[in-house]
């Protein structure tokens, strides 16, 4: 991890020779070439094109590696300039602002010790050890200091020093956390300096602080140093930065909307779930929350049955021998829970796959029986550090919507294509219509031969190309047993979430000696596809809550309708309507409180009840109800049969109220 955060831009040995030459050849993205003096920086070349180009540019990509604009070029290279709008350029902007914030904190609190401060997708944070806990009221003070540093237009300079020099430097500056990191690092170290502020960092960064003026500090949180609960609690300060005031304002609007949609707040407001210290990181589902959970499960079961899956269930606690055989013990045990009973070691399952493999081994199948599609809603447990837990999004126990497909090698492409179609249909049903696809290849630590990995990667890539589905390559990020296709969904706040995955596995069938009888009468190994669509049900429901802001389409709403009698005189009629709608399979309830009708309506709106049925003296006499829809107001009188038909139609179409 430390290497990941602080590595040096590697200069190959031949570059040392080239750096002594007078000239070097630079190839630009348009294919044109320049012959320039060795030691020329990308910024020097950019300045030839005028001030406008310099103002729009964040960093440079040289031979595929992102570096500082003012970093000298020492060899023949390809050169690409990165703007604020590019993902890599945005990361540089965010990370530079994290340093700016740390600089401001150090000026305000000289005794502070800096931890780490990475850039995230749209924000940054810095973990800092402070003698006192900050409050949200302290953030404007830090922002004021940050703006003062911006106005000074401080140059941001990179320096390379030895590890011993770096340790001495940070010891003198009282940065004990940085010293701890340095003692685990390799010899050559890079640091960045702006004014009197120095930080340990790989970079790259902006040339100076002047472009960092459109920032905002967002929130505070606690985080244990290195995620270890036995180590000091650091304060995590979150912020964001953009290249323009307009872009920052747009982000802040989305940020406020995200806070309003936060599933933790809505979960409490709508009485869906809760968390308790007796079971950290594990949700307790309340009655309404379990109704929502069950609607997701019921749909999942229905669509899988229609697509040729059979459902299985495997034990939660299994012998550690199984996990050693599967490779999980070697590759994943730091995230597993273990127990020992009757002098035997067991593990709580973090994955469903090995149990599913044991089920397959109980059958004697021929090639005619394949593909075999086993689906499982399996409860798994994974140890996540307390500082990483986040409502339903990051938990320690969750239900994974797994499926394992056993097929012939020649069936891989067709199965993958069918899976992609199923994934797209399910996401669309839940209102996620923008999906990004990634193909992840062999990681550094893996099982199976390189030849099997190449075959597996080619099979997944072939399926994607056959249906002409655009994808991004994600090198080295496959599962330890096989390459995978990951599916990221974009929500209404423009955030991306990785949920679905298709993983191709030749290795597990080999490790578990799976067999089928081929057309030749001989035993053969099947190919295995691991697959999840929702991923974690808990996490997916958290995303649904935020996607809909609790205003669920009728089929998902825990309470689909509430009957609101105006006075006690209408209670008997309200109960009659309630019984009729319940008999039609609708989730409705009666508000029998002796409150004014206006109060009852406001309460139903606050609880996000989609359909309200108002009953007064006039409705009782006419044998009708007055239909009111959340956010749409009064819709006029309807009979019970009309209300039932209207709601059933929306439920069957899986639509919201209209």
Catalytic residues: 353, 382, 400, 402, 404, 484, 530
Find the radius of gyration of the CA atoms of the chain.
30
Backbone angles phi, psi at 321, to 5 degrees: -60, -40
Q: What are the tokens at 104?
A: 């401001």
Backbone angles phi, psi at 362, to 5 degrees: -80, -10
Strand (E) or helix (H) holding 545: helix 537-548
3-state SS of 397-408 is EEEEEEEEEEEC
The beta strands (E) that lie in 152-209 are given as: 157-162, 188-194, 197-200
Helix (H, G, I), strand (E, B) or coil at 156: coil
544 near 426, Cβ under 8 Å?
Answer: no
Q: Using the 8-state DSSP alphabet, how is residue 125 labeled?
A: E
241 near 212, Cβ under 8 Å?
Answer: yes
With CA atoms as reference, report the closest residue to 591 among 575, 576, 605. Answer: 575
C-alpha distances (whole Å) from 519 to each of 363, 378, 405, 409, 516 are 17, 34, 20, 14, 10
With CA atoms as reference, report the closest residue to 553 among 456, 656, 436, 449. Answer: 656
Give the CA diameter of the chain: 99
Query: By 3-state DSSP, what share of the chain in percent is helix, strand and coil, each rounded to 5?
Result: 40, 30, 30
Count, residues in the chain = 658
DSSP readout, 610-638? SEEEEE-HHHHHHT-EEEEETTTEEEEEE
543 near 496, Cβ under 8 Å?
Answer: no
The upper half-sphere exposure of residue 254, i.e. CA atoms within 13 Å in the direction of its Cβ, equals: 15
319 near 343, Cβ under 8 Å?
Answer: no
Q: What are the tokens at 96?
A: 């530079």
DSSP readout, 559-576? S-EEEEESSGGGHHHHHH
Q: How many helices (H) and strands (E) does the chain have?
A: 22, 32
Gap between the Cα atoms of 425 and 423, Å rounded = 5
DSSP readout, 291-358? HHHHHHHHHHHHHHHHTT-EE----SEEEHHHHHHHTHHHHHGGG-EEEEETTEEEEE-S-SHHHHHH
Gap between the Cα atoms of 447 and 325, Å rounded = 12
Q: Using the 8-state DSSP alphabet, how is residue 368 labeled?
A: G
- 558 burial type by CB count under 10 A (0-12 exposed, 13-18 middle, 19+ buried): buried
Gap between the Cα atoms of 408 and 254, Å rounded = 47
Check the CA dihedral 592-596-597-598 and report its sign.
negative
117 near 127, Cβ under 8 Å?
Answer: yes
Backbone angles phi, psi at 41, to 5 degrees: -100, 160
């Amino acid at each position: 991890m430390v290497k990941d955060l602080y590595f040096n831009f590697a200069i190959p040995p031949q570059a040392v020779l080239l750096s002594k030459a007078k000239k070097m050849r630079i190839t630009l993205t348009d294919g044109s070439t320049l012959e320039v003096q060795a030691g020329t920086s990308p910024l020097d070349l950019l300045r030839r094109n005028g001030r406008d180009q310099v103002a729009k540019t964040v960093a440079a990509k040289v031979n595929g590696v992102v570096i500082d604009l003012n970093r000298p070029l020492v060899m023949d290279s390809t050169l690409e300039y990165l703007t604020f709008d590019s993902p890599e350029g945005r990361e540089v902007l965010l990370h530079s602002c994290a340093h700016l914030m740390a600089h401001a904190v150090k000026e305000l609190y000289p005794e502070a010790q800096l931890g780490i401060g990475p850039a995230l997708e749209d924000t940054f944070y810095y973990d800092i050890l402070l003698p006192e806990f900050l409050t949200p009221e302290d953030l404007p003070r830090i922002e004021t200091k940050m703006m003062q540093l911006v106005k000074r237009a401080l140059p941001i300079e990179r320096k390379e020093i030895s590890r011993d020099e770096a340790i001495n430097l940070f010891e003198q500056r009282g940065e004990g956390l940085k010293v701890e990191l340095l003692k685990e690092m390799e010899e050559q170290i890079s640091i960045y300096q702006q004014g009197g502020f120095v930080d340990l960092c790989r970079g790259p960064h902006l040339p100076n602080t002047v472009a960092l003026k459109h920032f905002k500090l967002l929130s505070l949180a606690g985080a244990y140093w290195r995620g270890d609960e036995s180590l000091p609690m650091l304060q995590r300060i979150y912020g964001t930065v953009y290249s323009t005031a307009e872009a920052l304002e747009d982000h802040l609007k989305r940020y406020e909307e995200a806070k309003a949609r936060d599933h933790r707040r809505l979960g409490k407001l709508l009485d869906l779930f809760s968390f308790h210290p007796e079971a950290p990181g594990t949700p307790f589902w309340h009655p309404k929350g379990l109704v929502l959970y069950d609607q997701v499960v019921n749909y999942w079961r229905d669509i899988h049955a229609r697509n040729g899956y059979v459902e299985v269930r495997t034990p939660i606690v299994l012998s550690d021998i199984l996990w050693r055989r599967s490779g999980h013990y070697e590759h994943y045990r730091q995230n597993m829970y273990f127990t020992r009973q009757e002098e035997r070691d067991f593990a709580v399952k973090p994955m469903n796959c090995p149990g599913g493999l044991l089920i397959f081994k109980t059958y004697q199948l021929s090639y005619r029986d394949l593909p075999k599609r086993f689906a499982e809603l399996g409860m798994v447990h994974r140890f996540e550090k307390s500082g990483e837990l986040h409502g339903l999004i990051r938990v320690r126990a969750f239900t994974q919507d797994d499926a394992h497909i056993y097929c012939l090698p020649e069936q891989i492409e067709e199965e993958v294509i069918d899976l992609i179609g199923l994934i797209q249909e399910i996401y669309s049903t839940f209102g996620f219509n923008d999906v990004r696809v990634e193909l992840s290849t062999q990681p550094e630590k893996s099982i199976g031969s390189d030849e099997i990995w190449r075959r597996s990667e080619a099979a997944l890539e072939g399926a994607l190309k056959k249906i002409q589905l655009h994808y991004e390559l994600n090198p080295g990020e496959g599962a330890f047993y096989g390459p995978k296709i990951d599916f990221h969904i974009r929500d209404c706040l423009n955030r991306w979430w990785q949920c679905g995955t298709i993983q191709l596995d030749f290795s597990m069938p080999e490790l578990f000696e799976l067999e089928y009888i081929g057309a030749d009468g001989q035993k053969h190994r099947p190919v295995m596809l691991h697959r999840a669509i929702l991923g974690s049900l808990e996490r997916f429901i958290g995303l649904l809550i935020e996607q809909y802001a609790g205003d669920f389409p009728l089929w998902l709403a825990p309470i689909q309708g509430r009957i609101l009698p105006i006075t006690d005189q209408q209670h008997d009629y309200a109960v009659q309507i309630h019984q009729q709608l319940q008999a039609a399979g609708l989730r409705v309830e009666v508000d029998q409180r002796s409150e004014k009708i206006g109060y009852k309506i406001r309460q139903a709106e606050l609880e996000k009840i989609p359909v309200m049925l108002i009953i007064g003296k006039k409705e009782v006499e006419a044998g009708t109800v007055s239909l009111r829809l959340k956010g749409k107001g009064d819709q006029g009188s309807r009979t019970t049969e009309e209300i039932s038909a209207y709601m059933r139609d929306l439920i069957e179409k899986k639509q919201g109220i209209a």
